[in-house]
């Protein structure tokens, strides 16, 4: 499977010609950016947001920008592992509630080597004593404390005020709202805001599809006090969209999709009205972490010139899950939540006939936490019991094991109903696993379907969300897999895709410029909004 020497040399020459030099800004042009999020890897990791944020911050930092991160100091973040420095003790965060007008917090700082510094808001009741990031009845209070705590901390700063605050998803929608209302007469008045929608489905502490007229939030009223029941029915996704200078999503295609009822989650009309400030920037992946040539989480390191080592990882994956060890058996991998949204309902419909009529294997890695579907997990377990040599399953979220799935699988299936970005296909491509995806969200932007007539493309894509369309593309992938030279071409094309954060970060810099210009146009000489 390894390419011949002459082909390797030609490939390497092509790589050198396509390589893009890193552009580092001058100190004068560097922007000060504060990214705010409830979860940031490696300190607190639940979903894709925690991976995206530090990777973007690192890419901006490497370009020469002054980037910092603001997050909660959860009790499970151990200071022995991440040494913290006290930056501000006794920060009084207003609650707008008479019963308890302030919550007292500390701000600590971790400064990792070669990466942006991370501020952590410390509060015993709302962060220190909690074992999880999400899932509490008072989450609206916890995230508004984070949002307002960040602004109060900046007010106390004598030497650093950001040019841009970059908020993410509904938990930090309040920071944009607060900044443009309660803080409009402060020294933060000229700070621009970028608000990124990672998943429009989650809008606050309620089911936005079942809101009564009494609880409906148009987003224009004042944010309720921390201890007012009204705070739990306020839509902070809507408020982030309304008040931000620039709204971004995690892929260009998703930016279009959410302006239509099918994917708009009730906010499509608002997004259409403000479409001039809505943009889509495809997420990237961390090429230092996701690198098959250096990855310590896989048994055999390899690159585009040593694909025979990928076959060894396939055998290791089969051994890990007690499957029949045979490099010629097509192996399909799945990484993600065990959930209907991820398309597992239609995937589970097509697997039984595939197993009956074809010699194929499937490996699943993912958990039911965070809104997952336990009945789907039960179906996977039943199949595993019925076909122990063909089905492998680790039904827990495991970011480390996913590396072996990417390295050992021939195809990674991502049949999501909707998918704002889709990091899994990009991670799979990095390791030479061919993506098979539904044509939604960012997967339309990142996966180019294989076209045998033009001899281009590297993935498989089904357009209609139903088992028949998915089944057809799986069969098509199996047919192409039988042609080893063609399959090797697909692997090489997939591995050559540039999904690193460097170019994505440059796109965010352009959005920051746009937000800064808009914020300055909206501010009068005395800091008043015009």
Residue 371: predicted pLDDT = 53
Higher pLDDT, 286 or 372: 286
Q: What is the pLDDT of residues 147-186, one digit of tens each?
A: 999 999 999 998 999 999 999 999 999 999 999 999 999 9
- Residue 423 is given by DSSP the state H
Can you point out the beta strands (E) in 140-223?
164-168, 192-197
Alpha carbon 343 to its chain's center: 18
Q: Report the distance separating Cα 175 and Cα 370, nearest Å.
A: 24
CA nearest 59: which of 512, 506, 442, 446?
Answer: 506
In the chain the domains, ranked by start, together with CATH numbers, are 20-284+504-517 (3.40.50.2000), 308-498 (3.40.50.2000)
Task: Express each pLDDT in 100-138 by its tens digit.
Answer: 999 999 999 999 999 999 999 999 999 999 999 999 999
- pTM for this structure? 0.90
Average pLDDT (385-401) is: 94
Alpha carbon separation from 167 to 70, 237, 324, 393 (Å, rounded): 10, 11, 47, 36
- Confidence label for 524 from pLDDT (cuts 50, 70 and 90): very low
Confidence band, pLDDT 50/70/90 cuts, at residue 13? very low
pLDDT digits (tens, 9 = 90+) for 324-365: 999 999 999 999 999 889 999 999 999 999 999 999 999 999
Query: 396 and 364 in contact (C-beta within 8 Å)?
Result: no
> DSSP H helical segments within 77-215, as ranges?
139-156, 173-180
Confidence band of 372 (pLDDT split at 50, 70, 90): low
% of the chain exceeding 70 in pLDDT: 93
Q: Are 493 and 450 in contact (CB under 8 A)?
A: no
Phi, psi (degrees; rounded to nearest 5) at 74:
-75, 155
pLDDT at 374 over 90: no
Tell me, what's the pLDDT at 437?
98
pLDDT confidence bin for 22, thresholds 50/70/90: low
* Torsion (CA) 146, 152, 158, 161 in degrees, nearest 10: 60
| pLDDT for 375 beyond 50 | yes
Q: Other CB atoms closer than 10 Å to residue 216's CB: what's the count? A: 11
Helix (H) or strand (E) holding 443: helix 441-446
H/E stretch holding 308: helix 308-320
| pLDDT for 397 | 84
Q: Which 3 state secondary structure label does DSSP give 462?
A: strand
For 5-19, 220-234, 452-466, which range has the lowest pLDDT when averaged over its residues?
A: 5-19
How many Å apart are CA 194 and CA 185, to the nearest integer? 20
* Cα distance between residue 423 and residue 413, in whole Å: 12
pLDDT tens profile 237-283: 999 999 999 999 999 999 999 999 999 999 999 999 999 999 999 99
Position 47 scores a pLDDT of 83
pLDDT tens-place string over residues 50-91? 999 999 999 999 999 999 999 999 999 999 999 999 999 999
Q: What is the mean pLDDT of residues 378-383?
A: 96
Q: How confident is the model at residue 370 (pLDDT cuts 50, 70, 90)?
A: low
* pLDDT for res 521: 83
Residues 469/421, Cβ–Cβ less than 8 Å: no
CB-based burial, 472-485: b 16+ in 10 Å, e otherwise: ebbebbbebbeeee
Sorting pLDDT into bands at 50, 70 and 90, what band is 369? low
Six token digits for residue 441: 């969200």
The per-residue pLDDT of the chain, averaged, comes to 92
Per-residue pLDDT band for 213 (boundaries 50, 70, 90) equals confident
DSSP label at residue 131: S
Helix (H, G, I), strand (E, B) or coil at 413: strand
Taking Cα atoms as reference points, which of 321, 313, 334, 350 lies closest to residue 425? 334
Q: Give the C-alpha separation, 47 to 399, whole Å.
A: 10
Token code pair at residue 142: 């916890």
Cα 88 to its chain centre, rounded Å, is 30
Burial label for 113, CB within 10 Å (0-12, 13-18, 19+), is exposed
- Residue 450: count other Cβ atoms within 10 Å of its Cβ: 23
Give the tens place of pLDDT for each residue, 129-141.
Answer: 999 999 999 999 9
Quickly state the pLDDT bin for 18 (edges 50, 70, 90): very low
Tell me what pLDDT residue 26 has: 86
Distances (CA, A) of 21 to 14, 18, 64, 168, 503: 15, 10, 14, 29, 11
Distance CA 129, CA 138 (A): 13
């Amino acid at each position: 499977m390894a390419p011949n020497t002459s082909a390797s040399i030609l490939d390497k020459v092509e790589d050198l010609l396509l390589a893009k030099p890193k552009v580092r800004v001058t100190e004068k042009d560097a922007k000060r950016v504060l990214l705010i999020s409830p979860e940031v890897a490696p300190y607190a990791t639940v979903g894709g947001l925690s991976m995206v944020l530090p990777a973007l911050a690192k890419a901006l930092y490497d370009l020469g920008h002054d980037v910092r991160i603001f997050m909660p100091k959860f009790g499970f973040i151990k200071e022995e592992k991440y040494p913290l420095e006290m930056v501000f003790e006794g920060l009084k965060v207003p609650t707008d509630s008479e019963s308890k007008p302030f919550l007292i917090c500390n701000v600590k700082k971790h400064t990792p080597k070669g990466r942006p510094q991370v501020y952590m808001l410390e509060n015993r009741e709302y962060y220190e004593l909690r074992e999880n990031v999400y899932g509490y009845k008072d989450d609206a209070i916890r995230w508004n404390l984070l949002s307002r705590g960040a602004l109060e901390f900046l007010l106390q700063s004598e030497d650093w005020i950001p040019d841009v605050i970059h908020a993410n998803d509904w938990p930090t929608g309040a920071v944009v709202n607060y900044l443009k209302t309660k803080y409009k007469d402060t020294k933060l008045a000229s700070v621009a805001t970028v608000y990124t929608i990672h998943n429009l489905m989650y809008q606050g502490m309620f089911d936005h599809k079942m809101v009564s007229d009494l609880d409906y939030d148009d987003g224009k009223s004042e944010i309720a006090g921390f201890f007012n029941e009204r705070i739990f029915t306020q839509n902070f996704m809507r408020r982030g969209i309304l008040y931000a200078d620039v709204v971004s999503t995690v892929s260009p295609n998703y930016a279009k999709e959410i302006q239509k009822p099918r994917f708009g989650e009730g906010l499509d009309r608002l997004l259409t009205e403000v479409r001039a400030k809505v943009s889509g920037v495809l997420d990237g992946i961390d090429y230092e972490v996701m690198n098959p040539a250096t990855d310590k989480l896989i048994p055999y390191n390899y690159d585009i010139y040593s694909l025979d080592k990928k076959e060894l990882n396939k055998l290791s994956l089969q051994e890990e899950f007690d499957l029949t060890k045979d490099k010629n058996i097509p192996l399909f991998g799945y990484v993600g939540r065990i959930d209907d949204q991820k398309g597992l309902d239609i995937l589970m419909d097509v697997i039984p006939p595939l197993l009956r009529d074809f010699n194929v294997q499937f490996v699943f890695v993912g958990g039911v936490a965070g809104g997952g579907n336990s009945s789907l997990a039960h179906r996977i377990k039943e199949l595993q019991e019925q076909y122990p040599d063909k089905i492998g399953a680790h039904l827990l979220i495991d970011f480390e094991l996913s590396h072996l799935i990417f390295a050992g699988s021939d195809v990674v299936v991502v049949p999501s109903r909707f998918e704002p970005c889709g990091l899994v296909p990009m991670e799979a491509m990095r390791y030479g696993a061919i993506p098979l995806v539904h044509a939604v969200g960012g997967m339309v932007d990142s996966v180019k379907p294989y076209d045998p007539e033009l001899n281009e493309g590297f993935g498989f894509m089904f357009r209609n969300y139903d088992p028949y369309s998915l089944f057809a593309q799986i069969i098509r992938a199996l047919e192409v897999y039988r042609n080893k030279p063609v399959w090797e071409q697909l692997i090489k094309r997939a591995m050559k895709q540039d999904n690193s954060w460097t170019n994505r970060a440059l796109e965010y810099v352009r959005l920051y410029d746009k937000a800064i210009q808009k914020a300055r146009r909206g501010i009068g000489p005395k800091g008043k909004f015009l």
